[in-house]
Chains A and B, each alone.
Chain A
Amino acid sequence: GPVESKTEAAMSELVPESRQKPVVPMKPLGMNANLLGYIGIDTIIEQMRKKTMKTGFDFNIMVVGQSGLGKSTLVNTLFKSQVSRKSSGWNREEKIPKTVEIKAIGHVIEEGGVKMKLTVIDTPGFGDQINNENCWEPIEKYINEQYEKFLKEEVNIARKKRIPDTRVHCCLYFISPTGHSLRPLDLEFMKHLSKVVNIIPVIAKADTMTLEEKTEFKQRVRKELEVNGIEFYPQKEFDEDLEDKTENDKIRQESMPFAVVGSDKEYQVNGKRVLGRKTPWGIIEVENLTHCEFALLRDFVIRTHLQDLKEVTHNIHYETYRAKRLNDNGGLPPMTVETEENHESNL
C-alpha cells in the first residue's frame, strides 16, 4: 500500500544503494593514429567480463578479536548466510583453546551469476588468555604460510592454469567498544600485521555507545593508529590516482573504523522485515545507517573494494613477501607448508 512504499522509499534513503564506481572516461592520450570508424576494441570489456564470470572468484577474509565480540555474527550478516560457525555453537565439552587456533572454512556462494568461493578464517583464542604475549604470531605465521604456498606453486616448472589462492585478502580486526582507547594488544597486533595483510579495524557491538561516544571514540582510535604508525586498509601509499585518493581519504579520515552491529535475526519494523537486534528500548536495525555503520562496511568491503583488496594483497603484500624470501636466500626459517588436514593445530 502507499504507507509501505513510503517507508520503502525512506528505507532506501537510509541505506543508499552504493554507486558502483562508474567506468571512467580515460584522460585523452596523444594519439598518433586517427580513428575513422568503429573497430570494436571496446568489446574487450564484455569479453573480459564473460571470462571472469566463468572462472569465478576467491575471497579469503580473516576475523580477529577477543571472543564475544560478535565476529561470526558479523561475517554471517555481511554475507547473508551461515558461513561462520559461532563459538556458542561449539561443543560445550571443548576447552577454551590454549593458544590461538586458525580455522579456515570455505563455502561457495552465488549471486547474479557470479560464483564466489568464500573462505572465512577464524582465530579463536586470540586475546583470551591471561598472558597474551605474542598471540599474533600464529596469525602472522598462517598468513605467511599462504604466501609461501602460493610462491611454491608459482615457481613450479609445470604450473597450474589457476593457482589456488588461499592468501588472506582482508583481516577484520575487532576493537572492543570500551569507549576509551585502543588496548596495548590491539596496537601490537595491528602494528605487526598491517605490514603483511590488509587490516580493516571495526568497532564491534557498537550498540553500546551513543552517537557522541561513537564519534569521539572513532577520533581517538584514528589518532592512536596514526601516532603508532599503523597503516590500515586502504593504505595511503597505494592510492592509484587522484580520484582514489579523494574517495579513500574520506573513508580513512571520517568513516573508519566502522562502528558495527551484527545480527542474523529478522524483525518487523514499519511493515518491513529487517535484520536487527531486539532490546527492551528498541530494535537496532543493522542496515540502518543512523543506527550503525554496518552498511558502510558491507559496501566498502564487498561492493566497491573487494577486487582492490585482492589486488593489493597480490601486487603488494605477496610481492613483499616474495622479494624478502628471495633476497634473504632462506633467511626466513624454511616453512613446512601445512596441508588442509592439519590446519587446526593440536591442543
Chain B
Amino acid sequence: GEGCRTVPLSGHVGFDSLPDQLVNKSVNHGFCFNILCVGETGLGKSTLMDTLFNTKFEGDPASHSQPGVQLKSNTYDLQESNVNLKLTIVSTVGFGDQINKEDSYKPIVEFIDAQFEAYLQEELKIKRVLHNYHDTRIHACLYFIAPTGHSLKSLDLVTMKKLDSKVNIIPIIAKSDAISKSELTKFKIKITSELVSNGVQIYQFPTDDESVAEINGTMNAHLPFAVIGSTEELKIGNKMMKARQYPWGTVQVENEAHCDFVKLREMLIRVNMEDLREQTHTRHYELYRRCKLEEMGFKDTDPDSKPFSLQETYEAKRNEFLGELQKKEEAMRQMFVQRVKEKEAELKEAEKELHEKFDRLKKLHQDEKKKLEDKKKSLDDEVNAFKQRKTAAELLQSQAQQAGGSQTLKRDKERKK
C-alpha cells in the first residue's frame, strides 16, 4: 500500500480465506457472460456456438435476403458443477448481404453502445441496484473472417476498426477446413499484418500474471484462430468425437493439428473469461462513459458540486432529449391530423357533389312525374267529359224514344226532309 508499513503476523489470523469468501459470494450470485458473433451469413456462427458450449441453441439458419443488418440475441442458463452462468449470445443477421455495405457496421456499434448506455443509466440512478443488475454488456466479440485465403475484406477492416475501442475483438477464420495448411499460415500472416497496418486493436490475452503468461503469450501468436464447428459426433477409433466427414478424410474439431478450436475454447472460456469481463468493465465501459459524459458537457474541474450536478445535468439532458422526442412526435401527430383533415375535406366535397347530383336527378324525376300526372289528369278529364257527353246523349236518346216514338220519327222525318 501507499506508504503503509508491512507488519509481520505472529500467528495464523485467517484472512487467507478472503478469496474463498469472495468467490463463494460470486457463486451464489451467479455469473454473466455475453458473446457477440459478427460475420457474414453462412460462416457457421451458430454452429460454432453450439460446438463451444456442447449444446444445441435454438434458432433457424438465416436467409440471405435481409434488408439490413440486424442483431439477434438469446440468453441461456447453463450450469456446470456449482457454477451458474447466464450466457447471452448475440449474432448479426444479414451482415454482408447487402449491395451497399457502408452502414453495415452501424447496427452493431449501436447495439454495443446501447448496452453500455443501459448500464450507465442504472449507475446514475438515485436508487440503484448495481449488484443485482443483469449485465448485458458484450464481453467478447468473435469476428468471423471468411476463409478466402487471400486477405481481409474491406468490410471486415472497416467494421473491426469501428469496434476495436468498444469491445474485446477475437478474430477467427471460419470454416477453416476450406483452406490448406500452408495457405492458412500465409492467410494468418496476411490478416495480422493488415490488422496492424490499419491500426486495429484486437484483444490480447493478458501476460501479466505469471501463471498464465506463457500460455497466453503463445496463444496470442496463433491469432486469428482457424476454427471449424460441428455438433455431429462420429466414431473415430474407439471414441466418439465431434467431426466433419469428407470423402477424403475426417476433420476432427478437437484435434489441434486440424484446427484451433481447442485453443479458442481454452482462451475464451477456460483461461480468460474473467479477464474479458474485467476489460469490458474497466476499459471499454469506462471509455464509453467518459466520452458520453464529456459529450454532455461535464468536466472534472468542479469537484464540489459534482455529485448532484452530474446527476441533475444528466437528468436534465435526458429530459431535454425526451422533450425533443416528444416535440417531434407532436409535430408528426399534427401533420397527420392535418393530412386527415385535408382528406376529410376532399371526401366531403365529393360527397356534396354526389348529393347535388342526386338532388338534381330527383328533381328531374319529380318534374317528369308531375308532367305525366298532369297529362294523365287532362286525359282523365277528357275521358270523363266524353263519358258525360256519352251519358247525356244516351239519356236524350232514350227520352226521345219514350216521349214519342213519333216525335222521334217526326223529327227523323223532318230531318230526312
A interface residues, Cβ below 8 angstroms from B: 18, 20-21, 23-26, 28-45, 47-54, 57, 59, 78-83, 106-114, 116-117, 151-152, 155-159, 161, 240-241, 298-299, 302-308, 311, 315, 319, 322-323, 325-327, 329-330, 334
Contacts and interface: CB of A to CB of B under 8 A. Distances in A.
A109 B6 CA distance: 6
B271 to A, nearest CB: 7
B294 A157 contact: yes
A79 B265 contact: no
Give the one of B25, B52, B307 with max A CB within 10 A: B307
Contact of B128 (A20, A57, A319, A327): A319
18 contacts: A18-B14, A23-B23, A23-B24, A29-B79, A30-B77, A31-B77, A35-B54, A43-B269, A44-B274, A48-B22, A50-B209, A107-B4, A155-B306, A156-B300, A303-B17, A326-B307, A326-B311, A329-B308
B15 A114 contact: yes
A83 B5 CA distance: 10
B84 A26 contact: yes
Contact of B307 (A25, A44, A155, A159): A155
Contacts of B257: none
Interface stretch (B26-34, B181-189, B402-410): B26-34
Contacts of B304: 334
Given A20-B20, A158-B290, 13 more contacts: A24-B28, A35-B54, A35-B78, A36-B54, A39-B53, A41-B31, A79-B13, A81-B7, A110-B9, A111-B13, A319-B128, A322-B126, A327-B126
Contacts of A305: 21
Contacts of B286: 159
A44 B83 contact: yes
A80 B13 contact: yes
B291 to A, nearest CB: 9
B21 A83 contact: no
Interface string B193-231: 000000000000000010100000000000000000000
B109 to A, nearest CB: 22
A32 B17 CA distance: 35
A111 B10 CA distance: 11
B81 A112 contact: no
Contacts of A302: 13-15, 17
B282 A34 contact: no
Give the one of A81, A109, A326 with max B CB within 10 A: A326
Interface of B: 1, 4-28, 30-31, 33, 52-58, 76-85, 126-128, 130-131, 209, 211, 265-266, 269-275, 278, 282, 286, 289-290, 293-294, 298-300, 303-308, 310-312
B82 A47 contact: no
Contacts of B17: 20, 302-304
A165 to B, nearest CB: 12
B212 to A, nearest CB: 8
Nearest to A25: B82
A23 B24 CA distance: 6
A330 B306 CA distance: 11
Contacts of B312: 329
B19 A114 contact: yes
A325 B307 contact: yes
A303 to B, nearest CB: 4
B123 to A, nearest CB: 9
Given A53-B19, A80-B10, A311-B25, A326 B126 contact: yes
Nearest to A315: B131
Contact of B21 (A41, A151, A304): A304
A82 to B, nearest CB: 6
Contacts of A110: 6, 9
Top 4 closest A-B pairs, CB basis?
Answer: A112-B16, A307-B21, A47-B274, A40-B270
Contacts of A51: 274-275, 278
A112 B311 CA distance: 43
A49 B23 contact: yes
A51 B278 CA distance: 10
Nearest to A108: B6
A114 B16 contact: yes
B24 A21 contact: yes
A44 B17 CA distance: 18
Contacts of A57: 15, 18
A134 B28 CA distance: 41
Contacts of A30: 77
Contacts of A50: 209, 211
Contact of B78 (A28, A33, A45, A117): A33
B307 A151 contact: yes
A33 B273 contact: no
Nearest to B27: A23
A115 to B, nearest CB: 9
A199 B72 CA distance: 49
Contact of B9 (A36, A45, A81, A156): A81
A155 B310 CA distance: 7
Contacts of B265: 39-40
Contact of A107 (B6, B13, B83): B6
B31 A44 contact: yes
A196 to B, nearest CB: 17
